Amino acid sequence: MRNRNCRIKMLSPLTSKKCGDQRRLSRVRDLSAPLIMAILVSGAFAMPHLALATNKAEALELETVEVIGTAPLPSIGVPLNQVPANVQAATGKSITEQRALNVGEFLDANLGSVTANDTVGNPYQADVIFRGFTASPLLGTPQGLSVFVDGVRVNEPFGDIVNWDLIPANAIANINLIPGSNPMFGLNTLGGALSVHTKSGDGNPGASATVTGGSWGRRAFEFEAGGKKDQLDYFVAGNIFHEDGWRVASVSDIRQFFGKVGWQDEKDNLDLSVMLADNTMHGIQGLPQEQLGDPHQAYSIPDSIKNQLAMVTLNGSHFLSDTKLLAANLYFRHNRANGFNSNVNNNYPGDGVASSSASVACTDVTAPSPCDPYASNVLSTTKTEGYGGALQITLLDDVAGHKNQFTGGVSADLGRTTFSSDTQIANVVGVETVSIQPLNTPQSVRLDAKNDYFGLYGTDTFSLTDKLHLTLSGRYNVAIVKLSGTSLDITDDTLVPGDLNGNHRYSRFNPAVGLNFNPSKALNLYGGYNEGMRAPSPIELACADPNHPCALPNAFGGDPNLQKVVSRTWEAGMRGRLNDSINWNAGLFRTENSDDILFIASSASGSGYFQNVGKTQRRGIELGLNGKEGSLEFVLNYSYVDATFQTPFSESSSANSTADNVTGIIQVGKGSTIPGVPHQTLKFRLGYQITPAWTIGGNLVATSNQYARGDENNQDAHGKIPGYSVVHLDTHYTISRNWKVFAKITNVFDRQYATFGLLGANEFTGPGNSFSADPATWNNNDQFRTPGAPRAGWIGLTYEFDK
């Protein structure tokens, strides 16, 4: 039998032993070499670092970027120079040093081709967009990215949304952002997959506690502790966070806990983890342009979401032999989300016309009343239980005398969701909507959804020569969605009952092929093609009837079938080293979606429906440079993303200045830019170690302008949302062996900017409002923008216990 210890150490240059399996893994630099870049955010072109894990399957739990995990389950990864894509990576250490609140905030500040749309004005609920594809916490947003935590898909079953607030930042060991339609990661991987791995006690011994305070009433306490004894290890982390918010009514209360217990020996690794969260977040959306002079104010309030999570995951692996690894996981997730959404009605401040949204006979039209409501409040509850697992095997045996690595597996993800919503008639007091009738109005939804997702997948990296590597991958997906329920909604002042029952089944085999050529240790050329798919989510299937539009997330209609979305990605590029300390990369990509799904606005204000709109395309260029020279470290990422509609279609966008005066319809032509996606982004991170105890760092984030939602034809008179650039600074000082202090300033130059725009009607522009007394200005079509946060600062203190 071969020396297992030598193989598990993954060719560390710290050992001089000769191991039979050493030829299967790439060489890496000594861990005693210069400290891993604290701001490493572009692992796509940095050579993988290697850690001395006692068990190779445990390696991803360490705060180093070793190899790229090309399969859903944590296991033996693939050296970067054998991955045919511009993968980006980051460590938990980078997230901690930049004091990022959550994964989404960190991605937006650092990684190439990533932007964030702050649609609701809350730092924990931003849309994260990568290469023009979205991972959003908002129901109704078409999703195009899959997110995994320790091999578990955390896109919520009901709408494929991603709740960034549920993932504790201080529990993260590392993340990989895998671009393209990689079929290995299953459903919803149209533009990419984000794989998050959590820490273990083996790689993170000791304990620490941190307190933070500063602007906007922010105060936070976080802790983490880990250790190992014999074959057992443990790790726990927690966060308690409160912030009043910089805008009115934008309070956030975040409570997160993560715990993991592990056991391992030479052959086996077993981890049992628990993730808990109880979070309440308030948001206040965008402001019409005439109100942006005071960005602290709200348009209408209240709007809130309360997320509660309990998640248990069991991950295990066993070496059947020196060259065969069996891995598996099981998980259970329980998530409950309570939402409160306020809406100013489109007849504000009352037109004296009886509305059938009232549950009583409408004879009294004295406004405001149930017969002539000014506003409405929607209360919704989403209860989801998700469970499933995967079984995966990795084989490292040579094939026909050539190096080869094969990984294959099966997976099942089952979701059970109960959704309900009710509408209250409300009045407007200032900007707050106040209910004037109890929950006995006819508008309501009761919906049960079942998602059964199954996958059979495999990937093989075959070394044609020592310099040329061929990768073949594929996955067969089956998605079964069953809906049952009813709805009552108002369409054109008519009470319309909805039958939400429906059965839908989608299946497809998605292939991938890639090639890597390494003419030298300093240069890697790659190219590849891959396909992925997304099945329509229950929320889309329950709101797909143009004759019965819904006002998300509060009412659903019938369920005509939607086609699955199929993505096809081409990617090519190169990466290498200028010298031992400076790395670079350059690449091109193109992704085309067929039968893409879009939320189409209807003529009823605030309502719409989901529809397949034909082809869309995302293509672009990515450039990167990172390195370390003495005490200076830097990372530079530039990207150009062109996201366009490729099939003409019509939609209702009555607030668009080019809309038909009667129908409110606009015509979206081929080549129109998809709103919300800026063409250009630039990320620059610079760190400098002034003394061994004192470091300082800064981030520059710059994006070009973008179109507002509702301006899909790119012709609205309000124009684009202007681009912006902001600078953030952070510094750390080690007072003593146990005490550390840090500070962070965001938006150092106090720039005024907006990250998101939406065309809509400003209902407060007209008779009786405080913004305009001139009837000539009562055309209330406007462009709403979500203002970016002004300059702010925080300071924190950390005490470390034998860390």
Q: Measured between alpha carbons, how far is residue 281 from residues 247, 301, 307 in Å?
A: 13, 13, 8
Q: Measured between alpha carbons, how far is residue 17 from residues 3, 8, 14, 22 in Å?
A: 9, 12, 9, 10
| Residue 684 Rama label (left phi>0; alpha psi -120 to 50; beta) | beta
**Between residues 651 and 169, which one has the greater pLDDT?**
169
φ, ψ for residue 420, nearest 5 deg:
-145, 150
Distance between CA atoms of residues 180 and 513, nearest Å = 12
pLDDT class of 642 with cuts at 50, 70, 90: very high
Write the DSSP assignment of 583-646 as a string of letters: EEEEEEEEEEEES-EEEEE-SSTT-EEEEE---EEEEEEEEEEEEEETTEEEEEEEEEEEEEE-
Helix (H) / strand (E) containing 424: strand 404-429
Residue whose C-alpha is closest to residue 347's, from 641, 768, 758: 768
**Per-residue pLDDT tens for 486-521?**
877 655 555 566 678 889 999 999 999 999 999 998
Terminal Cα-to-Cα distance of the chain (whole angstroms): 37
Q: Residue with structure tokens 């059938």?
A: 356
Q: Which residues pair with 131 in a beta bridge?
A: none
Helix (H) / strand (E) containing 95: helix 92-97
User: Identity (one letter) of the amino acid at 574?
Assistant: M
Distance between CA atoms of residues 82 and 517, nearest Å = 8
pLDDT class of 324 with cuts at 50, 70, 90: very high
Three-state secondary structure of 675-697:
CCCCCEEEEEEEEEEEECCEEEE
Tokens coding 185: 């990661």
pLDDT class of 602 with cuts at 50, 70, 90: low
Sheet holding 88-91, edge to edge: 88-91, 172-179, 192-198, 145-149, 152-153
CA atoms within 13 A on the CB side of 753: 23
- Is 189:183 a contact under the CB 8 Å cutoff? yes
Write the DSSP assignment of 713-771 as a string of letters: TS--TT-PBP-EEEEEEEEEEE-SSSEEEEEEEESTT----EEEEEEEE-TTSSTT-SS
Percent of all residues in the chain with a pLDDT value above 90, rounded to a whole number: 64
- Is 493:448 a contact under the CB 8 Å cutoff? no
- Is 356:35 a contact under the CB 8 Å cutoff? no
**Per-residue pLDDT tens for 531-586?**
999 999 888 888 777 766 675 544 443 345 789 999 999 999 999 999 989 999 99
Handedness of CA 52, 54, 56, 60 (dihedral sign): negative
**Per-residue pLDDT tens for 141-166?**
889 999 999 999 999 999 899 999 99
Q: Which residues pair with 760 in a beta bridge?
A: 782
> Pairing mode, if any, of strands 172-179 and 616-629?
unpaired
Q: State yes or no: pLDDT of 46 exceeds 90.
A: no
Residue whose C-alpha is closest to residue 532's, from 90, 143, 116, 151: 143
pLDDT class of 442 with cuts at 50, 70, 90: low
Q: Which residues contact 209 (CB under 8 A, 6 or more apart)?
A: 221, 222, 223, 798, 799
Residue whose C-alpha is closest to residue 388's, from 369, 371, 410, 420: 410
Note the Cα 200 to chain centre separation in Å.
Answer: 23
Distance between CA atoms of residues 407 and 392, nearest Å = 7
Distance between CA atoms of residues 22 and 24, nearest Å = 5
Tokens coding 71: 């399969």
Tokens coding 131: 């290469």
- Is 330:389 a contact under the CB 8 Å cutoff? yes
**Between residues 631 and 768, which one has the greater pLDDT?**
631
Distance between CA atoms of residues 417 and 100, nearest Å = 31
Task: Write down the pLDDT at residue 558.
Answer: 38
Tokens coding 557: 């209609």
Percent of all residues in the chain with a pLDDT value above 70, rounded to a whole number: 81
- Is 373:356 a contact under the CB 8 Å cutoff? no
Give the DSSP letter of residue 22. G
Q: Which residues pair with 250 in a beta bridge?
A: none
Distance between CA atoms of residues 239 and 237, nearest Å = 7
Among 326-335, 370-379, 680-689, the least confident range? 370-379
Mean of all residue pLDDT scores within the chain: 84
User: Is this prediction's pTM over 0.85?
Assistant: yes
Q: Residues, the chain, total?
A: 803
Helix (H) / strand (E) containing 351: none
- DSSP percent split of the chain into helix, strand, coil, nearest 5: 5, 50, 40
Q: Which residues contact 719 (CB under 8 A, 6 or more apart)?
A: none
